Copies of this chain bind each other. A is one copy, B any other.
Amino acid sequence: MSLVYQGKTKDVFKRADGNLEFHFKDDATGYLSDGKPVFNAGYDKVVGQIPGKGKISCKFTEYFFKLFEEKGIPTDFVGIGSAPNVMIVRPSNLLGVANQAGQYKGSDEVYGLETVFRNEVMGSWWRRYPVQVPGKRIAVVEFYAKGKAGEPDILMVDDALVQLGMMSQTELEATKSRTVQIAKLMYDEFMKRGFHLVDGKMEWGRDQKTGQIVLIDDLSPDTFRVCENFDLDEEGNCKVHEQCIMTDYKQSAKFVKCSNCRDFVEIKEDFKRTIEAKNILSADPAGLKKLAEAFKLEI
């Protein structure tokens, strides 16, 4: 086996039979506070390990990819490998477009197509369209391409996917309706176990043999917003949103040191909307453990 890619959450190997192996790791990202790691999937830097995390990610993905396959949604899943943190998948190409404008400064490739499903008004949906009550039940699918390091993910309007040649109109509609189906399946699976699934994202690729668009990569538990202690009305709207969800709109500031003196200069940045919910399971050991117990992912 040869190492293909070394990532923060998994290493990828090429097998002799042509398939790939994902080796999930216990490494977790976050930041340091007083020298101690605070785990947070929103950060890029590995600050420590959460024992069992790799195994749980692997089993979580296995659980759902098998369910999706049963329901007719194609995935790259082949099976579990020689250890419980190892998953075998068929090779796929990332969906994207090579840079066609290399002579232009700032031109770039666009690769890595994800769909996001939203069962509830939260996150960047509310920040972009701050008009609805947070926690309100919605049913939306969006497409994103992965942004370059340091740049945000790129919102893909439907027309752009076809116009840029990332997928055909038929593939777009199939991928959207499969994401709707996945949202429903996952929502029900979480609800059965006493959790409310708010939103989540997944990546799609093109199977190298068949050319078909399939669900790829892994379902990382920390990319799903999952609520506990929720209370929903008959239509699925969150009833405790005012106790649980906090928003803000403020101008952040940073302090920059004057080079010729010892003074600090305060720099006001743009106004930004933020939205956070208290009842969300995070990627910290406690949240992950709750998920693992609910889905019986520990071995």
State the copy count for this chain: 2
Tell whether, in the assembled complex, residue B247 and residue A105 are in contact, meaning their CB atoms are under 8 Å apart.
yes
| B154, A155: Cβ atoms closer than 8 Å | no
**Please, how many angstroms separate the alpha-carbon atoms of A275 and B101 in the complex?**
13
Contacts A155-B157, A258-B265; A110 near B131 (Cβ below 8 A): yes
Q: Contact string, A225-266, partner B, CB cutoff 8 A, digits 1/0?
A: 000000000000000001001011100000011111101010
Q: In residues 108-136 of chain A, which contact B (Cβ within 8 Å)?
A: 108-110, 128-134
Q: Which of B101, B110, B138, B248 makes the CB contact (< 8 A) with A163?
A: B138
A133 to chain B, nearest CB (A): 5
Shortest CB distance A130–B (Å): 5
Residues of B close to A109: CB separation below 8 A: 131
How many of chain A's residues touch chain B, expressed as a range?
35 or more
Interface: A186 (CB within 8 A): no
Interface residues of A (CB under 8 A from B): 97-101, 103-110, 128-134, 138-142, 150-151, 154-155, 157-160, 163-164, 242, 245, 247-249, 256-261, 263, 265, 267, 271, 273-275
18 of the cross-chain contacts (CB-CB < 8 Å) are: A97-B131, A100-B132, A101-B130, A101-B131, A104-B130, A104-B133, A105-B248, A105-B249, A106-B247, A106-B275, A108-B131, A109-B131, A110-B130, A128-B155, A140-B163, A150-B271, A259-B265, A261-B261
